């Protein structure tokens, strides 16, 4: 029997000696940067790593992290949360969704509150659990509130594939799958956050491939390094970005070679394409309407599309955030969680006022855990 433990697998990616060496190299080489490097980590998983391992403190002052909109729960506008709440309140409906979604505040309530009032809301450990719930409750309508970036979209498509194959027809899909490249474009087009380098998300890139970021080089002359989630991954990616800047040759590079390729997972892309289509536009919290930035069910599956089947009861007006919450500015890279007046006081992970405090991938949540 092998004595290999999980720690053996990740240790080299958290190795203090490697971190120290990388920090020294970055400090030495970054001295020659012509301008400060403002790096957006688009992915909430990276925000978490940066805060947890004190990576900010290891870097010189001319390298700054700008936290991006990389948490699907954080970027969902309130009206979509209200959809989930309204659906859960319907007679004969079971609402199944990601655990994190349950605590996100909508405009007046949350899934946690309506569940306490009697609604049947089921947090999922795995997307395929929806199939089990539907089979066990043939007389109920099971609404799957599907949320996530390109990472989790293939799982929703796989659920549909299995459900149709097995003839399970009481699942309705409320699709909230959002795409990463369009908000990157929107952030660059707005020019507000003055980003001049990107760390690309790991899981998302496994699916869509590093080629999806080439437009950032072609259109904005901005380097991108797809980085793994461990602290050594992030540090090595920063060094790669510094070296690109010094050479003056921006390109898309892959640091996370153990899982990401240039083309991504083509089978998963085909599976998504079979069931989903790109929406003309989608409203993002903090970023507003972004063209072609989210998915919807294909027209041929309209009878299973919760947005169509339950259209009469779903609110559609845009709803603004709580007036004290600056999640919108944080998601646009214009503010840090500690700039929020209620950070850590009226807003905490156990009592979140805004979405950025809810999920582990949310910037406010990461600051609350590691930078208070
Ligand atoms: S799903 Fe993974 S890659 Fe995507 S934002 Fe979250 S942590 Fe990052
Ligand atoms: S601390 Fe809370 S209220 Fe403030 S921006 Fe973050 S989520 Fe919003």
Q: Give me the pLDDT at residue 140, please.
A: 98
Q: Give me the pLDDT at residue 2, please.
A: 61
Q: Is the pLDDT of residue 1 over 60?
A: no
- Rounded distance between C-alpha atoms, residue 371 and residue 363, angstroms: 11
Q: Is the pLDDT of residue 53 over 70?
A: yes
pLDDT tens digits for range 83-112: 999 999 999 999 999 888 898 888 889 999
- Rounded distance between C-alpha atoms, residue 53 and residue 363, angstroms: 14
Confirm if 59 and 26 have CB atoms less than 8 A apart: yes
Question: Would you give the DSSP letter of residue 84?
Answer: H
Query: Phi-psi region for residue 9, left (φ > 0), alpha (ψ -120 to 50) or beta?
Result: alpha
Q: What is the mean pLDDT of residues 263-272?
A: 98
Count of CB atoms situated within 10 Å of the CB of 177: 24
Which residues' Cβ are closer than 6 Å to ligand 1?
43-45, 70-71, 149, 151, 201-204, 361
pLDDT tens digits for range 344-356: 999 999 888 888 9
209-247 core/surface letters (b: 16 or more CB in 10 A; e: else): bbebbebbbeebebbbbbbbbbbbbbbbbbbbbbbbbee
Number of H helices and E strands in the chain, helices first, is 17, 13
- Rounded distance between C-alpha atoms, residue 340 and residue 327, angstroms: 9
Q: What is the mean pLDDT of residues 66-86?
A: 91
Instruction: Provide, rounded to the nearest whole percent, the portion of the chain with pLDDT above 70.
Output: 99
Q: Is the pLDDT of residue 191 over 70?
A: yes
Q: Give me the pLDDT at residue 74, please.
A: 86
* The ligand 2 atom nearest the CA atom of 326: 5
Q: What is the mean pLDDT of residues 17-41?
A: 97
Q: Which of 274, 294, 299 is nearest to 283 (CA)?
A: 294
Confirm if 262 and 50 have CB atoms less than 8 A apart: no
**Cβ(357) – ligand 2 distance below 6 Å:** yes
Q: Give me the pLDDT at residue 360, please.
A: 80
- Using most ligand atoms within 8 A of CB, pick from 41, 146, 153, 361 the residue to mutate for ligand 1: 361
Token look-up 């989630």 returns: 229
Q: Give me the pLDDT at residue 163, please.
A: 98
Q: What is the mean pLDDT of the chain?
A: 94
pLDDT tens digits for range 146-185: 999 999 999 999 999 999 999 999 999 999 999 999 999 9
- Rounded distance between C-alpha atoms, residue 301 and residue 63, angstroms: 48
Q: Which residues contact 327 (CB under 8 A, 6 or more apart)?
A: 74, 285, 286, 321, 354, 355, 356, 364
How far, CA to CA in Å, does 170 sit from each of 74, 135, 141, 153, 166? Answer: 29, 8, 5, 20, 12
Our measurement of the distance from residue 361's CA atom to the centroid of its chain's CA atoms, rounded to an integer in Å, reads 7
> Is this structure's pTM higher than 0.85?
yes
Q: Give the Å distance between the CA of 180 and the centre of ligand 1.
A: 10
Q: Give the Å distance between the CA of 162 and the centre of ligand 1.
A: 25
- Nearest-CA residue for ligand 2 atom 6 is 364
- Rounded distance between C-alpha atoms, residue 97 and residue 72, angstroms: 13
Q: CA 195, 224, 180, 56 torsion: positive or negative? A: negative
Question: What confidence category does residue 235 fall into, taking pLDDT thresholds of 50, 70 and 90?
Answer: very high
Q: Give the Å distance between the CA of 340 and the centre of ligand 2.
A: 6
Q: Give the Å distance between the CA of 356 and the centre of ligand 2.
A: 6
Can you point out the beta strands (E) in the chain?
37-41, 63-67, 93-98, 120-124, 141-148, 171-177, 197-200, 224-226, 252-254, 276-278, 281-284, 288-291, 295-297
Q: Which of 42, 11, 31 is nearest to 226 (CA)?
A: 42
């Amino acid at each position: 029997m092998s004595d290999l433990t999980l720690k053996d697998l990740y240790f080299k990616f958290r190795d203090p000696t490697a971190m120290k060496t990388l920090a020294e190299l970055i400090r030495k080489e970054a001295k020659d940067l012509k301008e400060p490097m403002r790096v957006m980590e688009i992915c909430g998983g990276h925000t978490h790593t940066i805060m947890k391992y004190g990576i900010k403190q290891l870097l010189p002052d001319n390298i700054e992290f700008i936290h991006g909109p990389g948490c699907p729960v954080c970027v969902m506008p309130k009206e979509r949360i209200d959809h989930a709440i309204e659906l859960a309140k319907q007679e004969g409906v079971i609402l199944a969704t990601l655990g994190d979604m349950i605590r996100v505040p909508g405009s007046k309530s949350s899934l946690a509150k309506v569940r306490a009032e009697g609604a049947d809301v089921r947090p999922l450990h795995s997307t395929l659990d929806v199939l089990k719930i539907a089979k066990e409750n043939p007389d109920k309508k099971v609404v799957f509130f599907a949320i996530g970036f390109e990472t989790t979209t293939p799982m929703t498509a796989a659920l549909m594939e299995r459900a149709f194959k097995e003839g399970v027809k009481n699942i309705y899909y409320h699709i909230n799958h959002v795409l990463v490249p369009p908000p990157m474009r929107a952030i660059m087009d707005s020019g507000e956050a003055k980003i001049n380098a990107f760390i690309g998300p790991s899981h998302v890139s496994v699916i869509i491939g590093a080629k999806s970021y080439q437009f950032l080089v072609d259109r904005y002359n901005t380097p991108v390094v797809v980085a793994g989630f461990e602290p050594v991954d992030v540090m090595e990616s920063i060094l790669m970005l510094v070296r690109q800047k010094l050479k003056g040759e921006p390109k898309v590079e892959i640091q996370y070679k153990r899982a990401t390729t240039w083309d991504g997972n083509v089978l998963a892309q085909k599976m998504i394409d079979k069931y989903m289509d790109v929406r003309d536009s989608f409203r993002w919290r903090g970023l507003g309407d972004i063209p072609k930035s989210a998915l919807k069910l294909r027209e041929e599956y309209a009878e299973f599309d919760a947005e169509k089947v339950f259209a009469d009861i779903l609110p559609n007006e845009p709803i603004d955030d709580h007036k004290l919450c600056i999640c919108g500015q944080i998601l646009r890279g214009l503010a840090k969680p500690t700039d929020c007046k209620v950070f850590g006081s009226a807003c905490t992970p156990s009592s979140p006022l805004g979405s950025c405090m809810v999920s582990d991938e949310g910037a406010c949540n990461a600051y609350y855990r590691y930078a208070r």
